[in-house]
Amino acid sequence: MTATIRIATVGTGFFARFHHEAWARMDDVALVGVASLDKTSATEFAKTFSIPEIFTDAAAMLDEVKPDLLDIAAPPDAHLELISEAAKRDIAVICQKPFCGTLDQARKAVALAEDAGILLVVHENFRWQPWYGEIKSQLDSGALGTLYQASFRLRPGDGQGPNAYLDRQPYFQKMERFLVHETLIHLIDVFRFLLGEPTRIFAALRQLNPAIAGEDAGIILMDFAHPTRGLIDGNRLADHAAENRRLVMGEMLLEGSQATLSLSGDGRLFIRPSGENSRQEISYAWEDRAYAGDCVYRFQRHVVEHLRGHGPVCNTGADYLANIMIEEAAYASSERGRWVDITGPFA
């Protein structure tokens, strides 16, 4: 890999700004092109992040600027074609989630990348939020003893009324699969990061806001290695106590034989030994910058370090297929009203 990694991007929507801001902070990275169907926003991004070339056609951009890495922040339906174009040109790829439009498309994208021998990584940044790194360290150290249950209550409070999501990500209203496909997939990945691979799942999903097409509330139970169980309780209409409700987007509780660990909506961690009534705050280093503890920068830096030969990379496309399979099992469980094995088939 060259001294400066050349990066081209596709997409200039709400979250793409976080991608670009993170890249712009890296001294060994150069943003060399941005492609978007919205030429006005592409021009604005180019000016803000000092990108020398703008395009409305991604394939033309790849031919013109010849990047080392393509960062895709376009809608899921465009992912497979964009990954195909990168694979033809031997260009590594980071692709935003939701990863492709369907599980079948995701599998085809992974096969394209594997056949071409290129790196394909899914931009799943939640596990890079610093509190989850500290929780993982606490679990690995044995501080909680045998883990009985991990629970997360997602409560961003942004889904009420006819104008829900319109000021930031209006396409949320039209997604036929919403809460699990767009949001809880993050937490599915976090639970895999913290607890390992689940074996079966039970989900009960529902729609509360009639202004949107998909589900916006629901409960997911997952069984992990005995005796650990995971609970994700999601409700986009209700909120939680936090200065910034989008920082953690909820609260987490992990209960073990020796201690209970809690994560607040402000990113603070507390541990309470079993049998005691007082808890102690866990001090750990993190920066309240950009998005959710600077997790976008931390993830993208992780990929850059991998490209430079400094260790393995997490959330390759092949690994991320497990998240999508769990998502499919969740929808199947909710439709059937029963537990579903993660391995499928789900149809």
pLDDT of residue 2: 62
- Can the peptide bond before residue 76 be classed as cis, meaning omega within 30 degrees of 0? no
Give the predicted TM-score (pTM) of the model: 0.94
Share of the chain above pLDDT 70, in %: 98
Q: Return the domain boundaries, the chain.
A: 5-123, 127-282+324-340
Crossing angle between the packed helical segments 16-24 and 39-48, to the nearest 10 degrees: 30
Tell me the pLDDT tens digit for each residue of 192-239: 999 999 999 999 999 999 999 999 999 999 999 999 999 999 999 999
Cα distances (Å, whole numbers) of residue 274 to 139, 147, 228, 251, 261:
15, 12, 17, 20, 10
How crowded is residue 210: how many other Cβ atoms within 10 Å of its Cβ?
7
Query: Quick check: helix, strand or coil at residue 19?
Result: helix
CB-based contacts of 237: which residues, under 8 Å, 6+ apart?
Answer: 157, 159, 160, 208, 209, 216, 217
Give the mean model confidence (pLDDT) for residues 153-159.
97
Q: What's the topology of domain 127-282+324-340?
A: Dihydrodipicolinate Reductase; domain 2 (3.30.360)
pLDDT band at 3 (very low <50, low <70, confident <90, very high): confident
Q: Work out whether the CA dihedral 44, 172, 100, 239 comes out positive or negative.
A: positive
Distance CA 21, CA 64 (A): 23
Record the tokens describing residue 25, joined without a space: 């902070």
User: Which class is 5-123 in CATH?
Assistant: alpha beta
Tell me the pLDDT tens digit for each residue of 295-307: 999 999 999 999 9
Share of the chain above pLDDT 90, in %: 96
First to last CA, the chain: 43
Q: Please report where in the chains the tokens 């600027």 appear, as a residue.
A: 65
Tell me the pLDDT tens digit for each residue of 86-126: 999 999 999 999 999 899 999 999 999 999 999 999 999 99
pLDDT of residue 347: 44
Look at residue 44 and tell me whether its pLDDT is greater than 70: yes
CB-based contacts of 148: which residues, under 8 Å, 6+ apart?
Answer: 227, 228, 229, 255, 256, 257
